[in-house]
Structure 1
């Protein structure tokens, strides 16, 4: 028998509707109606709240003191479970530039365990490196930088049980064009990152099939009026997605607004680039082989360069609305549907659509996360939630609603 979620507003692709009732049956989204269902139907009442798709983080290195590069199965589980508190229901575990041996082990571990994690769903792997250039290295280890290798990608794809969904390269490296064509042919999204490429080099990479610019403005050649560089390419080239880290440290809100206005909010992807210190107190941590100092909301390696972030995706949504550069509808889209589309996963996540897994979040009008559902089961509830009387008979402790 179907059950229903009642809420004031529901965020669907391209529109918001409500108040109304959203059907959940066997962990799957059913139909939506503004009319109350039959009296016998069970209704879970979220009056005064909003329902949005589960968020999709396509660029995240770690959380709660665990790093993907630790190559630890339980650590991977802890990251996936922790992400539920961020409103994330799907993600791409993201590697760092490292030795071939280390990357072999990590992708193999993820591929063997991607369907076994207890929290947010692993939808594939994002390989961030090692095919980068030194000038905009960020927190990537230059010791392992090399030219793009189809042979290496074949090895990693085989070891990972074909789990690689996205790989980042610097387009000016030798062999980039051939590599891009091969990867795209294997349905792997090619992203451009940690690069000093010219606008023309970035354009040529896009023409070969590259489709994502990684953490735009960071780790790339900047915009100049005589050489638009990677940043300029990210803003105006057609049929690409541009990532942006909206934590207030990586990108000034005005710059984020410029990107969204030129790129379009439908192809701007909010990511966290979160490292192991996410969800942890300030202090000393590691990002790959680099020690990181986390303070004042930012993570930095020696010398002051930013080393990923401690951003939670739910906070990115709230930030851009509070900065006045996106509506709630746009912000939610940039953190759910757009990320899923950027890696060709929007046929299975990032939307509230009939037939999709019932992965969704409950927000209040201030965009605070109230609860996270996965497959129709409440998997996280904010401890500080103050419920109205209509919620008193509802427990969110792993209760199935379908």
Structure 2
């Protein structure tokens, strides 16, 4: 049981929150403005739908990597995540997916919960790789179905302009898999058409996609004009604060991801990102040519960055918890209400992390 300023779907309450058998059993207290006191802030646990690695481990490594990255990110308030793959030869993707499935059958109990896989590539445009290795190719339904047999794929990033991808989007949507548009040279019109086929989001908005021009709106224009959901990396390196503010005005359920690499939670130095070496320095991660290659962002810092930009704590929290939960259709995650999964974070009045609870298990924070 925790006592403090509790963020519920109906607003802030100053009182107590309790849980039993991994579910919230009681929330008591009176309405309150948390700015008027120094009691802890109690928020839903953070849900990160784009995580490549952390703690020196990368999803593509398999083995103990999943446990390492999940134990790393729980220290920063992430209670659930999608293990995110890289563009790679099919055999390497298959090995990574099999490793995720093995881990999910016997997960670490002192770690973020792995909800499944975010397949980022290989079905992306080879002309917009960003930090992805050069193994991009169009997707085929038979191959995707075979990959789905290896692990629970919850989200796929693809470039909509590639041959056959309209049909692939419709097929994935029919299977209940969410599709985001990213690593794309597609036009505004191709983005709008993909949304019509069932795509429902955009991967790391603004990055690795055609930008906005007033006579050529591009994929960014399609997102700003039509998207209900999109993910964005709020590390203040990938996207200028002004662009973040523009996206917040346009996209109702813009949500935060880290796109974190093995370098997250680690000192400066060289790390792996799929088959590539990346270097952490000056708070970022880059390839040898200077290209941004994922991030070192953690979700607690993402929260503080959004508040620094002027969002209320409640609004920022929704973009780290409720919106990603809703995007995946998880009605009992990402909110503090009776019967919901007992995933929550305890913060001090400066938004420093004090404790994390995953399915009712208390994990002390290290901030």
Is the TM-score greater than 0.5? yes
**Which residue of the partner structure matches residue 248 of structure 2?**
260
1:285 and 2:276 equivalent?
no
**Structure number with larger C-alpha Rg:** 1
Equivalent of 1:51 in 42, 49, 53: 42
Equivalent of 1:29 in 21, 24, 41: 24
SS at match of 2:75: helix
SS at match of 1:83: helix
**Which residue of the partner structure matches residue 187 of structure 1?**
176
Measure, in 1, the Cα distance between the counterparts of 2:144 and 2:332: 25
**Which residue of the partner structure matches residue 346 of structure 2?**
362
Q: How many corresponding residue pairs?
A: 359
Tell whether the 8 Å contact from 1:80 to 1:117 is kept in structure 2 after alignment.
no
**Which residue of the partner structure matches residue 38 of structure 1?**
none
SS at match of 1:202: helix
Query: CA 1:16–1:364 in structure 2 vs 1: closer, same or farther (change >3 Å)?
Result: farther
Deviation of 1:26 after TM superposition, in Å, equals 2.4
Structure 1 segment 144-293 matched on structure 2, within 5 A: 144-160=135-151, 163-238=152-227, 240-264=228-252, 267-293=253-279
**Which residue of the partner structure matches residue 43 of structure 1?**
none
SS at match of 1:278: coil
**Which residue of the partner structure matches residue 395 of structure 1?**
none
SS at match of 1:19: strand
Structure 2 unaligned spans of 5+: 31-36
Measure, in 2, the Cα distance between the counterparts of 1:320 and 1:333: 11
TM-superposition CA deviations, 1:247-296 (whole Å, max 9, x none): 111001111111011113xx101000000000011111121122212111
TM-score by length of structure 1 reads 0.87
Tell whether the 8 Å contact from 2:76 to 2:365 is kept in structure 1 after alignment.
no
Structure 1 unaligned spans of 5+: 36-45, 385-402
SS at match of 1:130: coil
TM-score by length of structure 2 reads 0.95
Structure 1 segment 329-368 matched on structure 2, within 5 A: 329-344=314-329, 346-368=330-352
Measure, in 2, the Cα distance between the counterparts of 1:246 and 1:206: 24
Deviation of 1:229 after TM superposition, in Å, equals 0.7
Tell whether the 8 Å contact from 2:38 to 2:349 is kept in structure 1 after alignment.
no
**Which residue of the partner structure matches residue 92 of structure 2?**
102
TM-superposition CA deviations, 1:196-242 (whole Å, max 9, x none): 1100000000000000100000000000001111111111204x311
SS at match of 1:101: helix
TM-superposition CA deviations, 1:45-64 (whole Å, max 9, x none): x9710110010000000001
1:129 and 2:121 equivalent?
yes
SS at match of 1:310: coil
Measure, in 1, the Cα distance between the counterparts of 2:104 and 2:358: 16
Deviation of 1:128 after TM superposition, in Å, equals 0.2
Measure, in 2, the Cα distance between the counterparts of 1:245 and 1:360: 22
Deviation of 1:350 after TM superposition, in Å, equals 1.3
Moved over 3 A (4+): none
Measure, in 2, the Cα distance between the counterparts of 1:99 and 1:50: 45
Measure, in 2, the Cα distance between the counterparts of 1:6 and 1:184: 42
SS at match of 1:351: coil
